[in-house]
Amino acid sequence: MTRYARLLEAVCALREVYSKALLQAGQQRQRVAARAQLVYLARELSEITTKELERRLHRDPSMISRLYGWYQGHRNKQTEERLARELVK
């Protein structure tokens, strides 16, 4: 399993969101926050490019950038620590 796949699985489990829901259109608050956290952590931890995230999440570059920026300003250290523990297992 790739590092991104493990991160996706962990974010979905922690946020109680199906991975399929993150790929669908819509801006429900829970999905947007989970998607933003996934984008931020994927870029920071997995070193995935914006182009690759565009392809995986079916979003345009400006949306990937906005999600990254939003999460950067609203980081949740507590969930990040929980995710880190999950990814180490």
What is the tally of structural domains in the chain?
1
Q: How confident is the model at residue 9 (pLDDT cuts 50, 70, 90)?
A: very high
14 touches 86 (CB < 8 A): yes
**Domain coverage including residue 59:** 3-88
Q: CATH number of the domain that 62 lies in?
A: 1.10.1750.10
pLDDT digits (tens, 9 = 90+) for 32-81: 889 999 999 999 888 889 999 999 888 999 999 999 999 999 998 998 99
Nearest Cα to Cα of residue 84 among 10, 28, 8, 20 = 10
**pTM beyond 0.85, yes or no:** yes
N residues, the chain: 89
